[in-house]
């Protein structure tokens, strides 16, 4: 029984770390996107626009990959939510 609990705790830890990383990546993308949009010419905060654009794109791809992993880890929650949603809709 202790082994099952240990796996559950590890999975919860992985989910928490993954969610935190996704939040940080989102914040980076929001800030870098705003910098690219509003900073029209030259350097942006000491970084060449081309370089910032490339970093922004790589981080966006990484975030997309991690979103897929996040979805896979939380598929049961998603399915449970869908079941509850459609169960409530049928009862009206």
Full pLDDT tens readout for the chain, 92 residues: 566 677 778 889 999 999 999 999 999 999 999 988 887 777 777 888 889 999 999 999 999 999 999 999 999 999 999 998 888 666 65
Instruction: State the Cα–Cα distance between residues 17 and 12, nearest whole angstrom.
Output: 9
The 8-class DSSP code of residue 1 comes to -
* pTM: predicted TM-score of the whole model, two decimal places: 0.78
**pLDDT for 59:** 97
Query: Where do the DSSP E strands lie in 1-92?
Result: 43-44, 47-48
Measured in degrees and rounded to the nearest 5, phi and psi for residue 46 equal: 80, 5
CA geometry: angle at 59 spanning 51 and 19, to 5°?
A: 150
């Amino acid at each position: 029984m202790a082994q099952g609990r240990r796996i559950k705790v590890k999975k919860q830890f992985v989910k928490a770390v993954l969610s935190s990383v996704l939040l940080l990546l989102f914040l980076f993308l929001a800030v870098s996107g705003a910098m690219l949009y509003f900073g029209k010419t030259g350097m942006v905060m000491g970084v060449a626009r081309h370089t910032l654009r490339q970093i922004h794109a790589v981080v966006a791809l990484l975030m997309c990959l991690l979103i897929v992993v996040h979805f896979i880890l939380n598929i049961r929650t998603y399915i449970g939510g869908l079941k509850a949603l459609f169960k409530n809709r049928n009862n009206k």
